[in-house]
Amino acid sequence: QGFEGLGADFGNGAYKDMAIASLRSLSARDKREPALQLFAEVIGKPTFPADSLDRIKNQMLAGFEYQKQNPGKLASLELMSRLYGDHPYAHSSDGTAKSVPAITAAQLRAFHQKAYAAGNVVIALVGDLSRAEAEAIAAQVSNALPKGPALPKIAQPVEPKASVGHIEFPSKQTNLMLAQLGIDRDDPDYAALSMGNQILGGGGFGTRLMSEVREKRGLTYGVYSGFTPMQARGPFMINLQTRAEMSEGTLKLVQDVLADYLKTGPTEKELDDAKRELAGSFPLSTASNADIVGQLGAIGFYNLPLSHLEDFMQQSQALTVEQVKAAMNKHLSTDKMVIVSAGPTVPQKPLPAPTDKPSEQPLGVPEH
């Protein structure tokens, strides 16, 4: 309510790598300064009142109950557990129905003293500010925080053994997820892997996976792949939904598409098309102040060079087919996949023959 009265927006969130607190305010000094003062108070001296803590716990517990009806979420939780084992990335940033009720205000205050210490914080600002004003705001926010050093960088996860798991769930659909450890955020192959994944399954229609699984066979509405680079090695993942009675054949098809892509690499046309698409879409990643401050925050948090965005575009546009193929094979292997499915156990049917124009709606579409 305090922020609303000043025409300002406060936001916060917690993720596997980081927590984020944000403020969007009017540039006029008479609005900006009281909003900043309130922001500094909220993030520097949170009170964690008992009634609010209880309310949030109950909201989270209700969310955990809802998750039990979401096979995709259940599959994702099981996948991360298998992929990361005892590593912190194995755990949902929301916690669990067992861990959340046990959290106390004293634990939150102790965590805040360490994780929100000034030495552990990256501050990014965008707006109608002079450099001197920006430095003054950064100092104001920093001085409001607990004193302390940066936390140590998270350890790298141990490579898991390939495995297959299934969660029985009553549904006409089966969720399929395949994953293995990918890269951390400052990996030198980041640009090549981003481009390679765009062609494999990161770009919607026209990708290898979408072409084979949806466009030629109508097995799903969408199949997607992606790297999630983090402070330590984040996951590479492929996910889709399909009819339960064709789940085994669809899984093998996805594996075959990945194996063929690693063997042959992209074509010159695929790479040229992906470069053109990136050149057209990349400017949108800095189209607003919110986009820009997000990019700056990531550059600071992951300790990337200030020229990161320009470097990424230059590296991407200079890539060759051979470089993309080499990077994908360096970091991915069909023999290392952790696979989780969630759906019913039903007799399987053969996949339809591939065609350039499927005559039916995608088989992954739920029946209503």
pLDDT digit string, tens, across residues 189-234:
999 999 999 999 998 899 999 999 999 999 999 999 999 999 999 9
Residue 137's pLDDT is 97
pTM: 0.92
pLDDT of residue 204: 84
Distances (CA, A) of 236 to 62, 172, 250, 321, 335: 30, 27, 19, 20, 14
Please list the rounded mean pLDDT of every run of 10 residues in the chain (368 residues): 91 94 94 96 96 97 96 97 98 95 97 97 96 96 97 96 98 98 97 98 93 96 97 98 98 98 98 96 91 96 96 98 99 98 98 74 42
- Domain range annotation of the chain: 4-86+88-144, 163-343
pLDDT in tens, 253-306: 999 999 999 999 999 999 999 999 999 999 898 999 999 999 999 999 999 999
CATH class as words, domain 4-86+88-144: alpha beta
The distance from CA 144 to its chain's CA centroid, rounded to whole angstroms, is 30
Q: Do domains 4-86+88-144 and 163-343 have the same CATH topology?
A: yes
| H/E segment holding residue 248 | helix 247-264
Q: What CA–CA distance (Å, rounded) separates 314 from 325?
A: 18
Tokens of 330: 């360096």
Which tokens sit at 264?
Answer: 């042959």
Q: How far apart are CA 225 and CA 228, in angstroms?
A: 10
DSSP H stretches of helix in 17-173? 29-44, 50-67, 71-84, 105-115, 131-144
Give me the CATH code for the 163-343 domain, please.
3.30.830.10
